[in-house]
Structure 1
Amino acid sequence: MKKLYFLPFLFLAVTTFAQKQFVVQNGTTQTFNDLNAAIAAASAGDTLYLPGGGFNLDPATIDKTLHWRGVGHYPDSTAATGHTQITTYDVYFSGNCDNSTFEGIYFQHHVRFGSDGDECTGVEIKRCRIGGILYLRYTSDIGSGIPDLAFNLSECVTSSIDARNAMNIRTEKNLIFGSLNNFYQSLFNHNSLNPYASSNRIINYCTNCQFTNNVFNYSYGLYYSSNCNFENNTFQSTLPYNSITSTFTGSGNIYNTGTDIYENIVGNIYNFDYANDYHLKTEATGTDENGNTGVSIVGTATDGTNPGIYGTSLPYKEGAVPYHPHIQTADIDNEAVGGNLGVQINVAAQER
């Protein structure tokens, strides 16, 4: 049944390879040559399939719930099509975009959610890259109470994330190259944080948050944050809190790991590079909370796997390939032989 379900999308992947077409699917299928025309024609709840290439949104504000599907952003899995990227400087998803989902898209710049007086809730972003700041609300105002966004971010590459005083945000298995700002009662699990901050702290204005099984590859502490719990994380230098004198609690953390903990880093560790290998080195060690040195960080997560993105029973997928079928490789002959043109196309999809 699952294979039959995917057959229409395999057909679309092959037939749209030679031209940039955008597919809107809602029981029936429509194709468009322009992304903005496809968005305008789509109804709330439709699925929008984007090919590889760079596209500008006009207008830059999306005002309906859609399920966005690109071909991915990792070069090794999009060699045939190019990665899907949105080049618009500021993309706005209004409060009418509740329950929108995103997968396999590279947003080159800032992405913003919500409207004035209308939060955008139930959003899920998977296997995307966000080059600018990800803002989860339109405003930081909490005059009517801290909003519950029920927001999920997983297996993404991001810069800074600003919740703007919101709660119930789940951030799991992401590569984060910026700061975490203004979170309430949110979970950070199995992320790898590698930000550069010469003067600012990395965790800012975060309250009642849970940090579990993360790799913190930075040297700075907490700023105007309180009542957070840290469990089975690793830290580049010292623990960012004093368990005796502060409101923070924690257990099972390992610190003083240094920066040389990943298998292979090309250039600066604080800049994302597709050539980098963010698996933990088997020989990486640190100091546990009892003061024991030379303690291995391998297998120290609460679930017995590694901290960071390659932990859990379903770790970060190499290439961040989307679920739906996409063209992985294409080999097309330069000329026809006997009236036939040789074409070999390999179509792949993520198993989960």
Structure 2
Amino acid sequence: MKPNIALTILTLGLVQIGISQKVVTLISGGNHAFYKGSNPYQSAYNDAVDGDTIILPGGTFNAFSIDKGITILGDGYRPDSTTANDRTTVNGAFTIYENADNVHFEGIYFNNNITVQNNHKADSITLKRCEIDGSITFTGTRSTSCHSPKIIESIIRGSINLSNTYNALVSNCIIEVSVLHAYDAAIRNNIFLGSGGYLGYPYYDNAAIYYGETSLVANNIFYADAGVGIMDNTSYYLIQNNVFVITLGTYTNNTVTSNYQGQTQSGLFVNNVSGATYDYSSDFNLQLPGVYLGDDGTQCGIYGGLHPFKEGGLPFHPHYIEQTIDGFTDPSGMINVDIKVSAQDQ
């Protein structure tokens, strides 16, 4: 599919330049369709069926709901990595419904919350290389749990509430606040910056890890410098090979092993510009990657594990790095356009 997507992206860029409008691409059964107008995404979505791919260009799209198992690819969430084309922004609160099994989002900036509708069962939801300027909430009572959601290589400026999930994976993310209500989940190789709360008793609902059962917390970095660690409101957690600035307390009903405790904030990252909030100019590479090793032998934090954080956060399809457009036509009515596209290896 990659050659088709590359062709689609190039064609999309040329169409955009020619008509100065957002053009959305739908890939369905190997065929490509292009949509423009006042709401091109909605037109593409209406025609899409499970398994299709929608490609959104840079620019802002009003929030929409998802009730299909489709892939939605943006042009990236970081403004400093999308200079040839704006980042793809979804404006407003966003809702996922029960027919959205296998829905996949990548390369999108969401400027509000993402919610899975209350007690709706949508399995295998993936958010990858996205930024959520809010929280992600799987609402419900676990009577119809969403199985195996994945949130990977993303920036979460709020919390992740997994209350209606089972077997979730939260991996290689930068999280400003917390992960809540994890059941049989794996929380691996993340950075918890700690804004809005500290790490445990007596702060309760502001903890970085709050409530849940039988989950794995491994290879994460907890940057907060107050509190006493992961809360007692977790049961049967395995907490191992994490880096803590604080020193952990004693936890009953949990297994705590091989953690790096009492580390200094200044000795962790190459450069954390804004402390407890994420800043694009920060460098979260470890100063000592060979010292802080996870349970798999790779470094703790976002650059280790199964999903190493990709600099720039670009999605897997080819990406514009430069475009030059003449402001005039030649005698034949043609416009000179020079576009440089960078292929993505992952």
Is this a same-fold pair by TM over 0.5?
Answer: yes
Give me the whole-angstrom Cα distance separating, in 1, the residues matched to 2:164 and 2:127. Answer: 19
Secondary structure, aligned partner of 2:212 = coil
Corresponding residue for residue 194 of structure 2: 195
Corresponding residue for residue 263 of structure 2: 257
Give me the whole-angstrom Cα distance separating, in 1, the residues matched to 2:230 and 2:109. Answer: 30
**After superposition, what is the alpha-carbon deviation per residue over 1:264-319, rounded to whole angstroms, capped at 9, x for unaligned?**
122x211111111111113xxxxxxxxxxxxx873422233210001137521100
Corresponding residue for residue 253 of structure 2: 247
Structure 1: which amino acid aligns with 2:106? E
- Find 1:113's aligned residue among 105, 110, 116: 116
Gaps of 5+ in 1: 283-295
- Find 1:306's aligned residue among 291, 299, 305: 299
Secondary structure, aligned partner of 1:206 = strand
Distance apart, 1:24 and its partner CA: 1.1
**After superposition, what is the alpha-carbon deviation per residue over 1:142-186, rounded to whole angstroms, capped at 9, x for unaligned?**
4x4x73511111100012100114220011111111111111110
Corresponding residue for residue 237 of structure 1: 246
1:164-203 aligned within 5 A = 164-196=163-195, 197=197, 199=203, 200-203=206-209
**After superposition, what is the alpha-carbon deviation per residue over 1:14-69, rounded to whole angstroms, capped at 9, x for unaligned?**
32442310111102211111222222222232211101011103xx4322222110
Gaps of 5+ in 2: none
Distance apart, 1:326 and its partner CA: 2.4
CA distance 1:119–1:314, change in 2 (3 Å): closer
Corresponding residue for residue 52 of structure 2: 46
Corresponding residue for residue 153 of structure 2: 155
TM-score (norm 2): 0.87
Moved runs in structure 1, 4+ residues, more than 6 A?
none
Give me the whole-angstrom Cα distance separating, in 2, the residues matched to 1:235 and 1:297. Answer: 16
1:269-308 aligned within 5 A = 269-282=275-288, 298-308=291-301
Corresponding residue for residue 15 of structure 1: 14
CA distance 1:5–1:298, change in 2 (3 Å): farther
Decide whether the 8 Å contact of 1:94 with 1:114 is kept in 2.
yes
Secondary structure, aligned partner of 2:8 = helix
What is the identity percentage for the equivalent residue pairs of Structure 1 and Structure 2?
29
Decide whether the 8 Å contact of 1:114 with 1:120 is kept in 2.
no
Number of aligned positions between the proteins: 326
- Find 2:338's aligned residue among 334, 344, 350: 344
Secondary structure, aligned partner of 2:338 = strand
Give me the whole-angstrom Cα distance separating, in 1, the residues matched to 2:66 and 2:296. Answer: 39
Secondary structure, aligned partner of 1:333 = strand
Give me the whole-angstrom Cα distance separating, in 1, the residues matched to 2:191 and 2:241. Answer: 13
Structure 2: which amino acid aligns with 1:150? S
Give me the whole-angstrom Cα distance separating, in 1, the residues matched to 2:101 and 2:212. Answer: 24
Secondary structure, aligned partner of 2:45 = helix
Corresponding residue for residue 42 of structure 2: 36
**What is the alpha-carbon root mean square deviation over aligned residues?**
2.2
Decide whether the 8 Å contact of 1:106 with 1:129 is kept in 2.
yes
Decide whether the 8 Å contact of 2:172 with 2:308 is kept in 1.
yes
Distance apart, 1:333 and its partner CA: 3.0
CA distance 1:232–1:222, change in 2 (3 Å): closer
Give me the whole-angstrom Cα distance separating, in 1, the residues matched to 2:164 and 2:99. Answer: 20
**After superposition, what is the alpha-carbon deviation per residue over 1:237-259, rounded to whole angstroms, capped at 9, x for unaligned?**
112x415xx12212221011122
Distance apart, 1:3 and its partner CA: 6.4
Give me the whole-angstrom Cα distance separating, in 2, the residues matched to 1:166 and 1:44. Answer: 22
Give me the whole-angstrom Cα distance separating, in 2, the residues matched to 1:166 and 1:97. Answer: 14
Give me the whole-angstrom Cα distance separating, in 1, the residues matched to 2:55 and 2:24. Answer: 6
